[in-house]
Structure 1
Amino acid sequence: MNKVTVTAKTVDDAVSMALKQLSAAQDQVTVTILEEPSKGFLGLIGVKPAKVEVEIKIDPLAEAQKFLEMVLENMKISAKVVVTKKSDFYLFDIVGDDLGIIIGRRGQTLESLQFLVNTVGNRHSNSYLRIILDAENYREKRKQTLQQLADRLAEKAAKSGQPVKLEPMSAHERKIIHTHLQGKSLVMTYSEGTDPNRYIVIQAKK
């Protein structure tokens, strides 16, 4: 039960009764006053009670986690989700054994699942909620792989003087390469194409 409608002599009494029914605290709910109490003639006849609707606030982070756990369960994957608050995002770390199916080829399944989890969370949030999914430390391993690839191709572009095109990548992975090569004095990077086929070009500086 997430929402109740209660009548009582006063608004405060109605809210208090509703909180007991919901087993919730005041800061966990939203209160809508449906009817103000009123007194009849001489305060005795036609007394009208207060009527309120009290609903438990939806926690967007909890809803996102619940959705992810439901997906894992439906996929018959035995794993838990550990949530950690970072500087500007929440990390949902999927902890378990044999999570390759969750990661997918070059992280495509993880990216798709991350999109869905963010969609669910932001559906219930008043401000933008950023959630990053990880499994088996894939994000850090992929970051290192991309940085090593960027170094090799930057050296190739600098030596040949010809632009080098990388395969299409997600915006997150393109950012890793752009950032890594930003301080390189011999090359520059830019993106071309449209998602999901947008890719990076590494070019020697003139």
Structure 2
Amino acid sequence: MEDYIQFSAKTKSEAITKACIELGTSSDQLEIQVVTEGSSGFFGIGSKPAVIKVRKKEEVSEEVEIEKMVESVKMDSIKPEKKKETPKPAPKPERAKEQKEIKEAREVKEPREPKEKAPKPVKEKQPKERPAKEKPVKEAREPKERAPKEKPVKEKPAKVTKPVEIITDPAEIKEIEERATVFLRDVFASMELGEVEITSKYNTADGCLEVDFEGEDMGILIGKRGQTLDSLQYLTSLVVNKGKNNYIRVKLDTEDYRRRRKETLENLARGIAYKVKKTRKPVVLEPMNPYERRIIHSALQGNKYVETVSEGEEPYRHVVVKLKRW
């Protein structure tokens, strides 16, 4: 009997292949013992090889195989065969003649007449008449009329908005402008924008504080579709209206962005209206802030063929342009 030879590789299958090549035989002719399965580790760290022990199986010669076949044939011949059932011998003619005479003598005797049994009287079962139970007739009740439950309607509290009043006091106007200017300078300093020229003016016609600023790289303050400018405008409005009884509208602008954006939205609205009229299918615009939605609504307010509605919740509220119903 040959001794086991040890082989190692990254995986068990690679180790078996290696053993087959070195021993010059196939895997079915080998006796294999797995010492370790092996592991890949974590990103190659701590990996362990697979280890197996192998030896060739004993070869059985042709003479031994022939002897085994002869032994199996001998064993089959030794097995006892089943005994064959021998047929019973036919009865002798003299015995058959005696049996025939006995049978005829029995037939000569008169057979006994069977006693006739009197038929049992059949009792006629009369069905018992059970008095039918009268089911009490239930009086049909009139369905009760239930008053529908009225769900209490929760009234949403109305948003309290401060009235917009035009300020005429010069001192108060100056104080409002200074509030906005100081706040914006602090914001620009924290953003490290450098020198930014801020000009503010209170419009006594509509009660709006208009603030404009100029400087280098103002695109940072505008942001994508004016989102940064709108956020800055909202914060400035909070600062200006803090502790005030009347609401003051604030409008921030730079590089004439508000006017250019208004023209862009108006052109967009007219193009969308033409598309809806031609295809007769509604078009959903991208989410916009309330100021930009008002521009779309006002641009198509007098259109004969399309109408506009706002749908969704903030900050995803958007305008839908659709065909008018006639």
Q: Fold conserved (TM > 0.5)?
A: yes
Contact between 1:193 and 1:199, CA under 8 Å: does it hold in 2? Answer: yes
Is 1:59 equivalent to 2:178 in the alignment?
A: no
Identity score, percent = 42
Q: State the partner residue of 1:114.
A: 233
Amino acid at match of 1:163: P
Q: CA deviation at 1:175?
A: 0.3
1:80 pairs with 2:210: no
Q: Which of 263, 276, 279 is the equivalent residue of 1:157?
A: 276
Tell me which protein shows more strand as a share of its residues: 1
Task: Count matched residues.
Answer: 152
Q: Kindly provide the amino acid, as one letter, of the partner of residue 242 in structure 2.
A: R
CA apart distance, 1:28: 6.8
Looking at structure 1, the residues matched to 307 and 198 of structure 2 have their Cα atoms a distance apart, in angstroms, of 39
> Does the CA-based 8 Å contact 2:276-2:306 persist in structure 1?
yes
Partner of 1:40: none
TM-score (norm 1): 0.70
- 8 A Cα contact 1:102 1:110, kept in partner: yes
Of structures 1 and 2, the one with the larger relative CO (CA 8 A, separation 6+) is: 1
2: distance between equivalents of 1:97 and 1:146? 26
1:203 is paired with a residue whose SS is strand
- Cα distance change of structure 1 residues 84 and 163 upon mapping to structure 2, 3 Å threshold: same
More helix by share: 1
The residue correspondences of 1:28-177 to structure 2 (distance < 5 A) are 59-77=175-193, 78-86=195-203, 87-88=205-206, 89-177=208-296
Partner of 2:139: none
Q: Gaps (5+ residues) in structure 2? A: 1-169
Decide whether the 8 Å contact of 1:82 with 1:94 is kept in 2: yes
Separation (CA, whole Å) in 1 of partners of 2:176 and 2:199: 16
User: Please, what is the CA RMSD of the aligned residues?
Assistant: 1.8
Asked whether the equivalents of residues 69 and 80 of structure 1 are also in contact (C-alpha less than 8 Å), the reply is: no
Partner of 2:29: none
How far off is 1:59 after superposition?
A: 2.5
Structure 1: which 4+ aligned runs deviate by more than 6 Å? none
CA distance in 2, matches of 1:203, 1:195: 21
Q: Is the 8 A contact 2:177 2:200 kept in 1?
A: no
> What secondary structure does 1:81 align onto?
strand
Q: Displacement of 1:94 after TM fit?
A: 1.2
Q: Distance in 2 between matches of 1:85 and 1:63?
A: 12
- Contact 1:60/1:123, CA 8 A, preserved across alignment: no
- Give TM-score, length-normalised by structure 2: 0.45
| Residues 59, 124 of structure 1: 8 Å contact kept | no
AA paired with 1:61? E
Secondary structure of the 2:212 match is strand
Gaps of 5+ in 1: 1-26, 30-57
Structure 1 or 2, whichever has the larger Rg, is 2
3-state SS of paired residue (2:310): strand
Q: Which amino acid aligns with 2:231?
A: S
Q: Contact conserved, 1:83 with 1:91, CA < 8 A, in 2?
A: yes
Tell me, what secondary structure is at the counterpart of 1:64? helix
